[in-house]
A and B are shown apart, each in its own frame.
Chain A
Amino acid sequence: MRDCSWLIKDRENFENVRPDNFSCTSDRTRDTDDKYNCIAWAVGKTDSWWWPKKQSGYYWPEGLPCEPLNRETVANFIRAIESEGFELCADGKFENGYEKVALYVNHLNVPKHAARSLPDGTWTSKMGDDEDINHATLEVLEGHGFGKARVFLKRKNPSFQRPSEQNAL
């Protein structure tokens, strides 16, 4: 697996990333045809690159509009993520029995990234064509590159129970 230190060095885009708050969990997909991106990864897919662009080779759920580059809307992304069984929720706090998706938007409210919660309370992100990473909090990836995590959705997933909460049931 490739060394992920590039993420720490890129202070311009990822000012909050430190060696102790993230880890690489799979190699980059830059050299393969099996491409998927953060949106696909967030909803549990690894067979396509999700983006609302009418362009061969990319995917966007049928019936949802394609949008001009850099003028994509949060509403369109919410509908796309909802098509996989998610529903809007208030925040990214861990909820027993639910997995969550956090949508990062820039200062113009244009979606730039999505992360998915893990049963241990941490988050997983696909970094474009680069690696999948595990990050301790949503704030780790906030900054100039992706903006801030502003929109949250959740769906039922019984496997999403922290060990301590599983014992309490």
Chain B
Amino acid sequence: MPCIQRSPEKGCKAQTIDAPYCRSADWWRSSDYQLENEPFLSRCTQRKRRARTLKAGKQWSVVILSSGTEKKTPSPKLVEEFYRLAQQWENETSFHSSLGEIFTHEAYQRIMAMGRDALPLILSELRRRPGHWFYALEKIVGQDMAVGSRTFAAARGAWLEWGYKNNYI
């Protein structure tokens, strides 16, 4: 038996939905409406629903689906330690051209040992100033996200773009 679909909302194209059962036209207004039913609706309709829900000041929650990675906020202790080590590293290696001296400095190694928790701090620092962070980033992430970048500026841009996309900055 064919299922009668609710008319599409104004401004939305009609969707052919393979609904498992028939519903009344106002089924979605009922209190037992669950967000997991949303995949049955067109994206356009979903957007309108959310906007209308917010406008009406309803009490139920509006769930915003994130890309999957939550932005992490490092602990104050880690932040303090990071900036102390970064300052020491910069003071003691800024006159060096040798990447060996720069990347194997004790303070730099300790920052790398902080692991992924240090990524938001390193990327923020890289955004603020073009420091020699590519080596630490590659070692922590396990992959060179700036591969093929021939200049410092290009590598910096590639890492910052990766940082934005992955919610680190």
With the chains together, A111 CA to B38 CA distance in Å?
A: 63
Instruction: Other than A58-B152, A70-B100, A72-B100, give 13 A-B pairs with Cβ distance below 8 A.
Output: A34-B153, A35-B152, A48-B152, A49-B97, A49-B152, A51-B99, A56-B149, A57-B149, A57-B156, A58-B99, A127-B95, A128-B94, A130-B95
B residues 71-111 in Cβ contact with A at 8 Å: 90, 93-104
User: Which residue of B98, B100, B134, B153 has the most chain A CB atoms within 10 A of its CB atom?
Assistant: B98
Contact A31:B99 (CB < 8 A) given known A58-B152, A59-B150, A128-B94: no
Q: How close is A62's CB to chain B, nearest CB, in angstroms?
A: 11
| Distance between Cα atoms of A111 and B158 in the complex (Å) | 30
Q: B98 and A51: CB pair below 8 A?
A: yes
Asked if A13 and B97 sit within 8 Å, CB to CB, the answer is no
A1 to B102, CA, bound (A): 24
Assembly CA distance A97 to B101 (angstroms): 35
Q: In the A-B complex, list the 7 residue pairs whose CB atoms are closest, starting with the nearest.
A: A57-B155, A70-B100, A37-B97, A33-B153, A56-B146, A69-B100, A38-B97
| A113-B99 Cα distance, complex, nearest whole Å | 11
Range, interface on chain A:
35 or more
A6 to chain B, nearest CB (A): 8
The reply on A53 being an interface residue by CB < 8 A is yes
Report A24-82 residues with CB < 8 Å from chain B CB. 28, 30-35, 37-39, 47-51, 53, 55-59, 69-72
Q: Could you list 6 A-B pairs, sorted by A, with CB under 8 Å?
A: A28-B94, A34-B153, A47-B151, A55-B99, A56-B155, A59-B150
Complex: A111 Cα to B98 Cα, angstroms: 8
Is the beta-carbon distance between B99 and A33 smaller than 8 angstroms? Answer: no
B125 → chain A, closest Cβ, in Å? 12
Is the C-beta of A136 less than 8 angstroms from some C-beta in chain B? no
Separation of A51 and B150 alpha carbons in the complex (Å): 13
Chain A nearest CB from B120 CB (Å) reads 20
A121 at the interface (CB under 8 A from B): no
| Residue ID in chain B nearest A48 by CB atoms | B151
In the assembled complex, the Cα of A69 lies from the Cα of B93 at a distance in Å of 15
Report how far A39 CA is from B97 CA in the complex, Å. 8
In chain B, positions 123-169 with a C-beta closer than 8 Å to chain A are 129-132, 134-135, 138, 144, 146-156, 158
**A residues less than 8 Å from B152 (CB atoms):** 33-35, 48-49, 57-58
- Whether B130 lies near A35 (C-beta < 8 A) is yes
Complex interface: chain A residues within 8 A of B104 (CB): 69-70
CB <8 Å contact, A113 and B156: no
Nearest CB on A from B42, distance (A): 42
Assuming the contacts A31-B129, A55-B138, A57-B151, asked whether A129 and B101 have C-beta atoms less than 8 A apart, the reply is: no
B112 CB to closest chain A CB (Å) equals: 13
Instruction: Closest A residue to B135 by CB, please name it.
Output: A55
Q: In the assembly, what is the distance between CA of A145 and CA of B134, in Å?
A: 23
- B135 / chain A contacts, CB cutoff of 8 Å: 55
A126 within 8 A of partner (CB): yes
Cross-chain contact B96 with A112 (CB below 8 angstroms):
yes
B130: chain A residues at CB < 8 Å are 31-33, 35
Contact status A145-B95, CB under 8 Å: yes
